[in-house]
Structure 1
């Protein structure tokens, strides 16, 4: 079973990816008229951040379900 720190760090990593995507979105809007090439790079970062947030979230939920089922098996 994972420690409480391990569980919290999994959630923190999710939120870091979400923050990266939000900051990238802000950069896209600020750079769109000035430097379109830079904005396109941040479009990729935005999409990557959203994808990684969803991926890490689904992985964490699967891991938590596995931990719960393992705990229930041990308790029985």
Structure 2
């Protein structure tokens, strides 16, 4: 279960990095099109932080239950 949580948090980070790349690529040519990528980048970074904190709390709770 922990491996799946770790995988999903890095998946969000990958989406954020791809979105940031597309923002840089399209900024000068299609500024209206970059707003959706800005939204994806912000949401993905927020979800990465949320999932990371959730996983750490889950690991701590699991570790405390074993002891």
TM-score (norm 2): 0.97
Q: Which protein has greater RCO, CA pairs closer than 8 Å, 6+ apart?
A: 2
Find runs of 4+ consecutive structure 1 residues off by over 3 angstroms: none
Q: Which runs of 5+ in 1 are unaligned?
A: 1-5
Deviation for aligned residue 1:56: 0.1
> How many residues align structurally?
67
Q: Which runs of 5+ in 2 are unaligned?
A: none
The CA RMSD measured in Å over matched residues stands at 0.5
TM-score (norm 1): 0.86
